[in-house]
Amino acid sequence: MTNLRIVNAELDAEIVRKEEAAADGAAILNDVCAFIGRFVAYPSEHAQFAHTLWIAHTHLIDAWESTPRIAFLSPEPGSGKTRALEVSALLVPNSVETVNMSSAYLFRRIGMEDALPTVLMDEIDAFFTPKSAAAEEIRGLLNAGHRRGAVVGRCVTVGKAIETVESPAFCAVALAGLGWLPDTLMSRSVVIRMRRRAPTETVEPFRPRLHRSEGEALRDRLSSWATLIASEMSAAMPEMPPGVEDRAADCWEALLAVADAAGGHWPDTSRAAAVALVTAAREANPSLGIRLLEDLRTIFNGPDTALEREIATDRILSLLCALPESPWGDMKGRPLDDRKLARMLGRYEIKPKVLKSVNRRGYRREDLVDVWSRYLPVPSPQGA
């Protein structure tokens, strides 16, 4: 009986500890969210909530199998991207702020034996210039490093011998830059599309020397809370909201796990943010291949072609170029031609065929239906 009482007391104490940790977690996230909102004009509350969760997840980096990159991107300078990184630097563990770095430095800094860094990379658009070997190395590291266990292999000279070295690549990374990132990096990122403040939007001036102590106090609270929940985070399997799957689910798993542990409004808030930001990123940055598939579906379902099973290539090219805001009439100074169309569709294993109805080469609806179902969202009903 005594042993049973001890066990029950321990269980009760554990329940109380978890309840206190959850309550404290919600309060901490609320305070972090309010702090960053003082200095950064976010495009939406969803973006502010996502940034808060990303900051919190960096304190539990040892618990995750994958860590999402968070990318603050904008079409023009002066949109608050750098400020978002500067504020983050006060709140994350072992922050490393950089504007320009070599791939060798990044490899070695991540591989150092002390605690994992949280890398904050500004002006990332300057890295990804055409035909840059360094950019390809950094992109490869950032892509691989979102997953635990990923390494970067290098050959080094030791004396007269050449030896292979494998450097770990896993760490939390925040990025800021103009335009977009390479597609492979975008798919591993929680994307926040920043914009310049409107005249009606105001933020508090940020001065590290004035706000450092307040930010570091929040960082210490996050660290203490993370210590309490670390063991349960390693086993967390948060439920994903509809539409957040595959690579997007990898990005949001750690953030939703943090939100669930915090409790309060955070589980619901985080899932709403996930759906909104994943949908926005998907709609705002389709690849040229996806755009082509979408436009071909539009053509085959058009009022003049809805009943046609096959369309000749020359007619498809004409219809593509006639679509509103179409990119197909100017592909680097020349309109899309039959060879380029065949190459682009060949990536999806779609090939032109001789069409019996017109005795010319073209494409058949039945060959495209499966690809549409795999790569495109289901079209909304007319009038919906």
Buried b (16+ CB within 10 A) or exposed e, 134-161: ebebbbbbbbbbbebebbbeeeeeeeee
212 or 75: which leads in pLDDT: 212
Question: Which residue is associated with the tokens 């500890």?
Answer: 17
What's the one-letter identity of residue 343?
R
Q: What is the C-alpha to C-alpha distance for residues 16 and 363, in angstroms, rounded to an integer? A: 65
pLDDT digits (tens, 9 = 90+) for 224-282: 999 999 999 988 999 999 989 888 899 999 999 999 999 999 999 999 999 999 988 87
Task: Enter the pTM of the model.
Answer: 0.77
What mean pLDDT comes out for the span 1-21?
55
71 confidence band (pLDDT: 50, 70, 90):
very high
pLDDT at 383: 42
Average of per-residue pLDDT values in the chain:
85
384 confidence band (pLDDT: 50, 70, 90):
very low
What mean pLDDT comes out for the span 353-368?
90
Q: Which of 62-76, 128-142, 310-324 has the lowest mean pLDDT?
A: 128-142
The DSSP secondary-structure symbol of 377 reads P
Residue 8 has pLDDT above 60, yes or no: no
Q: What percent of the chain has pLDDT over 90?
A: 51
What mean pLDDT comes out for the span 4-19?
55
Residue 15 has pLDDT above 60, yes or no: no
Residue 12 has pLDDT above 70, yes or no: no
pLDDT at 180: 79
Rounded to the nearest 10°, the torsion over CA 106, 108, 109, 113 is 150
pLDDT at 247: 87
Beta-strand relationship, 360-364 and 310-312 = antiparallel
pLDDT digits (tens, 9 = 90+) for 281-330: 876 666 788 889 999 999 998 887 777 889 999 999 999 999 988 889 88
Buried b (16+ CB within 10 A) or exposed e, 34-72: ebbbebbbbbeebbbbbbbbbbbbbbbbebbebbbbbbb
Whether 69 and 146 have beta carbons less than 8 Å apart is answered as yes
What mean pLDDT comes out for the span 186-209?
90
pLDDT winner (highest mean) among 29-43, 88-102, 113-127, 177-191: 29-43
In the chain, DSSP finds a helix count (H) and a strand count (E) of 13, 10
Residue 11 has pLDDT above 80, yes or no: no
Q: What is the C-alpha to C-alpha distance for residues 155 and 132, in angstroms, rounded to an integer? A: 20
3-state secondary structure of 351: coil
pLDDT winner (highest mean) among 105-109, 157-161, 259-263, 289-293: 259-263
pLDDT at 19: 53
